[in-house]
Structure 1
Amino acid sequence: MTEDQVKQIVIDIIDEIAPDEDTTGLKPEVNLRDQMDLDSMDFLDIVMELRKQHGIEVPEEDYPKLASLDSCAEYLTPKFNAK
């Protein structure tokens, strides 16, 4: 799986949990919470959906690695490819 595919998975999850948010113009290098109105519960929902939909576990100490689309892709791509 490529980093772009992982970014799209994260965007799809955001679209599911926050349907009112516009994800079309997201800047991959900018913190997601700075670009959208995501609170800590939304962020936890993203982590839970990664586990539920894709079997990807993200330990709490790694949550900061999911700050931007770029950092999500960097952190999650190896996890997807190890499955």
Structure 2
Amino acid sequence: MTNDEIRSLLLQLICDIAPEADPTSIAEDEDIREAFDLDSMDFANLVVAIHKRTGVSIPELDYRKLFTLGGAITYVGEALAQSGSGG
């Protein structure tokens, strides 16, 4: 997956969890929890959704790496590349 594909997927997953979210309104370095008003359960659901769609396992210690859109894109991209699924 390219970074653009990962970005698109993440924004789609966020909109599935928070339908009122405006995916065009977020900067790469902005905290997605604040930008989309995600509570801890919403964020946990996002992590589960990322895993289901990409196969990337995200340990709780790494959650902070997903707090920004840019961080999440990088994290998922690197995990996919390491697993050989990065195509």
Aligned to 1:65: 65
Tell me which stretches of 4 or more aligned residues in structure 1 moved more than 3 Å.
none
Aligned to 1:19: 19
Percent of pairs with identical residues: 34
Aligned to 2:75: 75
Query: What residue identity is the alignment partner of 1:51?
Result: H
What do residues 5-62 of structure 1 show as CA deviations (whole Å, max 9, x unaligned)? 2111110100111112221221111111221211011100011111222211100000
Query: What residue identity is the alignment partner of 2:39?
Result: D
CA RMSD, Structure 1 to Structure 2 (Å): 1.2
Aligned to 2:28: 28
Aligned to 2:41: 41
Gaps of 5+ in 2: none
Looking at structure 1, the residues matched to 6 and 53 of structure 2 have their Cα atoms a distance apart, in angstroms, of: 13
Gaps of 5+ in 1: none
TM-score by length of 1: 0.89
TM-score by length of 2: 0.85
